[in-house]
Every structure is written in structure tokens, then in C-alpha cells.
Amino acid sequence: MAMENIVSRRHDNIIKSQSDQMEYRGLELTNGLRVLLISDPTTDTAAAAMDVNVGSLMDPWEIQGLAHFCEHMLFLGTEKYPLENEFYKEALDRFAQFFITPKFAETATEREVQTIESELSKYLNDDTWRLMQVMRMSLCIVGAESLDVMESLLKASDFGTIEDKGVNRKEWLESPYGKEQLGKRVEWMSGFEVTLSCPSAVNSGHLLPSLSLNVLL
């Protein structure tokens, strides 16, 4: 979608800390995607991240692990950029293709199923891993360019073509855990904590004195 007006709303009055020197702009695209642009002239790297409104709790009962599987497959080629690990300078547009036309190649599918099965076996009894959650779908882009330049890059990408399928978020009106899931011991955890009063490290923070003390103890 080359430079089309895909922006339906723009917000330049985002509240930030007085000490924050970065500039922010919020956008809403015509397809409903919410975008946050962050301009940081001091950075030497750029980044983009997408939060999606699905996760393991929305997996179909008969296809458990589907969300995790899709997360793996999105990195393994799309119709527009079919090769794995192919480098190119239009990184933002390549990222957009993850959510438009992922290929789900048969050879990669079989490999990733085995990878996910291995991860599941490793973390099956890890409470922190089992309670992982996701946020609503939105895009965040960070770079050294100005907000106007970043918005132009966004318009030149294909994020505006991501289809809004109107999928409703699943709501849990009652606890998903019953007597058979609750009250069972998963693992024992023991620990011993000692708190010491130390001189201020304000002027020597770069030397990490507290880290050195932790290693010695």
C-alpha cells in the first residue's frame, strides 16, 4: 500500500515524563490497527513490535498449542518474502507480511511442531511459563528518524492491508480451573534471604558493587 492515506486518527498529545526527551505519536489505521511511533534521535538501532489479541487461552480444544505454533511459523517466510533468514533493507514491510500472508511451508511446519513439543515437555511444570498472557493487538515502532519520517515509512509498508476479521476476544465468565486442577503441588521452592545495610552506591553505580557483593556471598 504505497504511501496511501491509511491513517484515520492521529494523536500527538501523548503524556510523558518531563525528563523524557523522546517524541511520541499515536495512530489508528483505517483497518483498526493501533500504532505507537517513538522517535529517539540518540538511538543507533530501530525496532518494531506487534502485540496480538490471541494466545494459548484461545486455542481450539482439539488443536492445543496453535497460537504458539503460529508464532514460530511467522518467522519462516511469507508470500512476498518466501525465503527464511533473507536480509533486506525494508525490514518494516517484511515484519508486516507476518500478519498478512505467512507461507506455513510443509517442511517448516513439521520441524516447528517437533520444536514446540520439545518446549512443552521442558516447561510443562513451570508455573511462570504456564500463566503466560498476551496483550491486545497493537504496533510499536522505535527509531532515530522524526515522527513524520517514521509515519511515511509506515504508510509505505503493508501494515494497512492487514485484514480486520472482526474476531471477538474470548471472555472467561467463570474460573477455568476446577477441583482436579487446584490444590496440587507442582514443585517445591525453598530460599533464604539476607538483607544488609550498605553505604550509598550513587557515585559508584557503574562499578556494580551490589553485584560483586552478591557473587561473594
pLDDT at 173 over 70: yes
pLDDT band at 172 (very low <50, low <70, confident <90, very high): low
pLDDT (average), residues 92-96: 71
Contacts of 170 (CB under 8 A, 6+ apart): 57, 58
pLDDT band at 23 (very low <50, low <70, confident <90, very high): very high
**What's the DSSP call for residue 40?**
-
Q: Which residue has the cell 498449542?
A: 65
Residue 71 is among the residues annotated as catalytic for this protein? yes
pLDDT at 213 over 60: yes
Strand 47-51 and strand 34-39: the pairing is: unpaired
pLDDT of residue 75: 65
**What's the DSSP call for residue 102?**
B
pLDDT of residue 125: 62
Distance CA 136, CA 51 (A): 6
Model's pTM, two decimal places? 0.51
pLDDT (average), residues 186-190: 79
Candidate from 35-49, 75-89, 180-194 with smallest mean pLDDT: 75-89
pLDDT band at 24 (very low <50, low <70, confident <90, very high): very high
Q: Give a three-class secondary structure readout of 138-205.
A: EEEEEECCCHHHHHHHHHHCCHHHCCCCCCCCCCCCCCCCCCCCCCCCCCCCCCCCCCCCCCCCHHHH
Q: How far apart are the first and last CA of the chain?
A: 58
Domains defined for the chain, CATH in brackets: 7-161 (3.30.830.10)
Q: Write down the catalytic residue from 23, 28, 71, 145.
A: 71
Which of these, 25, 39, 33, 43, lies nearest to 8 by C-alpha position? 33
Q: Output phi, psi for 109, to 5 deg.
A: -60, -50
